Structure 1
Amino acid sequence: MAALVREAEAALDRLDIARARDLWAQIYDVERSTVAICQLGQLDRRLGRWVDAAGELTRCVQEMRPPATPLEQRLHDTRHADLAATRRQVAELRVFAPAGAAPVLADGRIMDETGRIYVEPGPHEVTAVLPDGRKARSTVRVAAGESRALLLSPAPAGLRPVASPPARPAGAPAQPVAPPAPWLLYAGSAASGAFLVSGIVLHIVASVEDSALRTEMCNADWEETEPARRAMLAIDVKQHISTAALVAGSALGAATLVVALLPSGAKVRASARGAEVRFSW
């Protein structure tokens, strides 16, 4: 181990960053120490491997012990500043998958138990496999420095065949189908609007607070304290609630629209060619 450390330091002195990075990776495989993960984060940052550097510096900051001396305090502040600068080069996804879904993949990379992963700016596909074999899949586009919460919904199950209604004797009058009650449409529209408005407001509030907190983290004298951790947790909760409210509002609005637009007596029937919709007047 000591020989590997000396060789890695010698490679760094020669400015052979790639070789130093490979050696520290070997050291980390042997002993998963805080020093090794911090060194990997710094070297990947210098190599422009921003996604790897963001994950490694995040673990570095989480594992660092509270500073006890001025030197440790300066190192502590430097690591936090490096992490903040690196996170501005990547995007962060926080994925909420259905219960029992495993594994959860982002572009083929398996997420850990936190459901968070750093990705390059641009489009990404996130997939989860449910216990019954169905897949929950979503595509998202993110920008550098953005943190996005993503709610995965499972693919709908196959349509069940609908039994044919009993034959009506010839000449018998058709039974009128009652239209949907107006109060149902009004209530659905109002509830959908309330969910959407509350989700948008919460998303704006959380985004403003998150931007303010990130700006504060970039200050050289910023220190992670218990109030700061509570503030980050509160922002996460608001973002999760806003996402759930937007999804609920959209689903409720779509259901209300379907009820309002489908003619009375419309029926959905599964066939060998797919799904067909039949109407009766």
Structure 2
Amino acid sequence: MLRSALVVCWSHAAAVAMFLLALTPAFAAPPPRSPRVVALIREAEAAFERLDIARARDLWAQIYDIERSTVGICQLGQLDRRLGRWVDAVVELTRCVREMRPPATPRERKLHETRHADLAAARRQVAELRVFAPAGAAPVLVDGRLVDESGRIYVAPGQHEVAAAMPDGRTVRSTVHVTAGESEPRAVLLSAEPASLPLVAPPPARPAGAPAQPAAPPGRWLLYAGSAASGAFLVSGIVLHIVASLEDSALRDEMCKPDWEETDAARRAMNTIDVEQHVSTAALVAGSVLGAATLVVAVLPSNAQVRASARGAEVRFAW
């Protein structure tokens, strides 16, 4: 009987001890801050009171590097919002709201609502990107800045370049223009660029003093076209000259008759003969010039130089 009573007492004592051990962490005071952090907080509060927001922000950044707390990230978000650093403020306030514990008192509830309102105001000043990159493309850069493509990407209003590196060394990129306060994230699609064409090696440089390689001869079509055009002009000029000569002879025979009189028809015939003679002469000259030019192109070397001088045309050959 005595043994059973002792067992019961010991079991109750063990249960009470375990309950007290479980409650100890809940009521334990938070770990004390280091003197360095306490001094930085005092200096940051003093800078904020004299409206030196930039200095206060720098001090809270030092505090957060030493002690990564929810209070530190919330303070950084508030100070960046005052400084107009909207992208940083949105990132920090998003973490602040996510890490804050659910409010338990009216004061905590009011602070919770204030942080959410500050985040909403800051998000109206930025835009959000959602990047869709090919499989294996990493890392993702926005304006040359490394970002976490798995989360939200906030950028300032304006034009931005989004790029990522493919496993084969190619780069995929896209340019997007965003405005502040867009209701939905702007989708950015990164498509793989076509593989670059192989580079063609330049021809080897010709050593000094080496003979120049002859250029390719002119195309045969040029020679054929020049010859055909020259022949057409010459034939036309000869035919017109013969016709004009025959008509002129006939008109002169008529003029030699005793009963011939100058009429309007006779004057028109003389004008027609004059026009035919001028046209035939022009056709003969054009055909001759075109034929000579075609002959020069066909006969002269392709690297010959023709220069005009005071004494006439000078033809220089480069061998």
Q: TM-score, normalized by length of structure 2? A: 0.48
Task: State how far apart, in whole Å, the 1-side matches of 2:197 and 2:191 are.
Answer: 17
Contact 2:131-2:149 within 8 A present in 1 as well: no
The alpha carbon displacement at 1:10 in A equals 1.1
Question: What SS does the corresponding residue of 2:131 show, helix, strand or coil?
Answer: strand
Match of 1:40 in 2: 76
Contact 2:140-2:149 within 8 A present in 1 as well: no
Q: Which has the larger radius of gyration?
A: 2
Question: What SS does the corresponding residue of 2:43 show, helix, strand or coil?
Answer: helix
Aligned: 1:24 with 2:60 = yes
Match of 2:241 in 1: none
State the superposition RMSD in angstroms: 1.5
Structure 2's unaligned 5+ residue stretches are 1-36, 199-319
Question: What SS does the corresponding residue of 1:133 show, helix, strand or coil?
Answer: coil
Aligned: 1:60 with 2:127 = no
Aligned: 1:151 with 2:194 = no
The alpha carbon displacement at 1:158 in A equals 4.6
Task: State how far apart, in whole Å, the 2-side matches of 1:106 and 1:48 are.
Answer: 20
- Letter of the aligned partner of 2:55 in structure 1? R
- Letter of the aligned partner of 1:153 in structure 2? S
Question: What SS does the corresponding residue of 2:187 show, helix, strand or coil?
Answer: strand
Structure 1 runs (4+) greater than 6 angstroms displaced: none
Match of 2:160 in 1: 124
Question: What SS does the corresponding residue of 1:155 show, helix, strand or coil?
Answer: coil
The alpha carbon displacement at 1:119 in A equals 0.8
Match of 2:173 in 1: 137
The alpha carbon displacement at 1:50 in A equals 1.0
Aligned: 1:91 with 2:91 = no
Provide the aligned length of Structure 1 versus Structure 2: 160
Task: State how far apart, in whole Å, the 2-side matches of 1:63 and 1:71 are.
Answer: 17
Task: State how far apart, in whole Å, the 2-side matches of 1:114 and 1:31 are.
Answer: 26
Task: State how far apart, in whole Å, the 2-side matches of 1:43 and 1:58 are.
Answer: 14
Deviations 1:132-167 (A, max 9, x none): 10111000000001221212111123579xxxxxxx
Deviations 1:181-200 (A, max 9, x none): xxxxxxxxxxxxxxxxxxxx
- Letter of the aligned partner of 1:154 in structure 2? A
- Letter of the aligned partner of 1:25 in structure 2? A
Match of 1:163 in 2: none
The alpha carbon displacement at 1:115 in A equals 4.2
Match of 1:8 in 2: 44
- Letter of the aligned partner of 2:188 in structure 1? L
Q: Do the aligned partners of residues 33 and 113 (structure 1) sit closer, same or farther apart at CA in structure 2, a change above 3 Å counting?
A: farther
Relative contact order, higher structure (CA 8 A, sep 6+): 1
Task: State how far apart, in whole Å, the 2-side matches of 1:114 and 1:59 are.
Answer: 15
Contact 2:162-2:175 within 8 A present in 1 as well: yes
Deviations 1:13-49 (A, max 9, x none): 1111111000001111112211111101100111111
The alpha carbon displacement at 1:95 in A equals 1.0
Task: State how far apart, in whole Å, the 2-side matches of 1:70 and 1:83 are.
Answer: 20
Question: What SS does the corresponding residue of 2:169 show, helix, strand or coil?
Answer: coil
Question: What SS does the corresponding residue of 1:67 show, helix, strand or coil?
Answer: coil
Q: 1:71 aligns with which of 101, 104, 107?
A: 107
Match of 1:176 in 2: none
Aligned: 1:50 with 2:60 = no
Structure 1's unaligned 5+ residue stretches are 161-281
Contact 1:127-1:136 within 8 A present in 2 as well: yes
Question: What SS does the corresponding residue of 1:101 show, helix, strand or coil?
Answer: coil
Question: What SS does the corresponding residue of 1:138 show, helix, strand or coil?
Answer: strand
Alignment of 1:215-254 (within 5 A): none
